[in-house]
Amino acid sequence: MYSLFPALASLAFTSCALMAAPASAQAPAPNTADSKATSGKPRSAPAVATTPLTPEMPARAPYLSDATAPDTVAILPPPPRGQSAAETADKTIFAGTRALKGSARWELATADVADGPSAILDDFACVLGRKIDQSRSPALMTLLERTRLDIGRATRPLKEHYRRLRPFVGNEAEICVARTRELGDAFSFPSSHATQGWAYASILAALVPEKATQFFVRGKAYGENRIVCGVHWASDVEAGRTTASVVVSALQGDPGFRADLEKARAEIGKNLSQEGSPPDAAICARETSALREPIL
């Protein structure tokens, strides 16, 4: 069982209507009824691997080379399959979290669906107490943008190797984003966004260590919100955190990454010492309240 959800054993397993389709199934094309039902929902967050944080000046090269990039397929175990206890846990968690619709946690998970490439940075604004101004943070943006490419290279082989379907494919369970063919056709394991959230939390914790706990709490919640939204299995998110830890550990050995990390450290220290735009107090209050709500 996944340690992320210690209360899992107390959940009753729901009907097969909420279970994922077999591996041979294909994502259903959204029909007119689906379009009407999901017209008020956001589309899924932009793909980590292909959508730059800085569209006007996207990074062209990751930090890690072919020789130094870790082989994540060799490192991570495969996703749950068959009739294993782990797969049962995934299905139970997916079914149980559908009941969160309308809760503060569901609203936070929906808000975490990025409206743009760099929206994930806003998710850490309440921790920093300051919105990240990209125009005043070129070193930080370079650091995160190049790291994004390493994250994409680490998650892509796993997705293509295992080709795991998302939990909403083959059923009509409620999810917090629009059901699109594009999302249904995108493979689930591991969660790239959970990987990105945990990797960025790790980097920001290194830059502002006095707020490390808060960054990791928020990064963990960001990943869990992919489960709340119904677009990833719990094991996808756990694998995302593992992948992020692997990538960030490898990055520590790269001289270019370390140099950019120090530049970003000086930059963010300077920015935090100056007046800047605070995050919306009401949004931060709702976020704090939502994070107190357990997923199960």
User: Could you give the residue numbers annotated as active site?
Assistant: 193, 226, 232, 236
Phi and psi based region of residue 269 (left: phi greater than 0; alpha: psi -120 to 50; beta: remaining): alpha
Rounded Cα–Cα distance for residues 154 and 139 (Å)? 23
Dist. CA 44–CA 183, nearest whole Å: 7
- Sorted by sequence, the CB contacts under 8 Å of residue 240 that are 6+ apart come out as 155, 190, 191, 192, 193, 194, 195, 197, 198, 223
The number of beta carbons lying within 10 Å of the beta carbon of residue 72 is 21
Q: Of 15, 17, 20, 36, nearest to 169 (Cα)? A: 20
Query: In Å, how far from its chain's centre is CA 147?
Result: 14
For residues 95 and 295, give the distance between their C-alpha atoms in angstroms, rounded to a whole number. 12
Sign of CA dihedral 182, 242, 287, 280: negative
Write out the DSSP string of 39-106: TTSPPPPPPTTTS-SSTTS---S-SS-TTTS--HHHHSPPPP-TT-HHHHHHHHHHHHHGGGTTSHHH
Query: What one-character DSSP code corresponds to residue 12?
Result: P
Q: Using DSSP, how many helices (H) and how many strands (E) does the chain show?
A: 13, 0
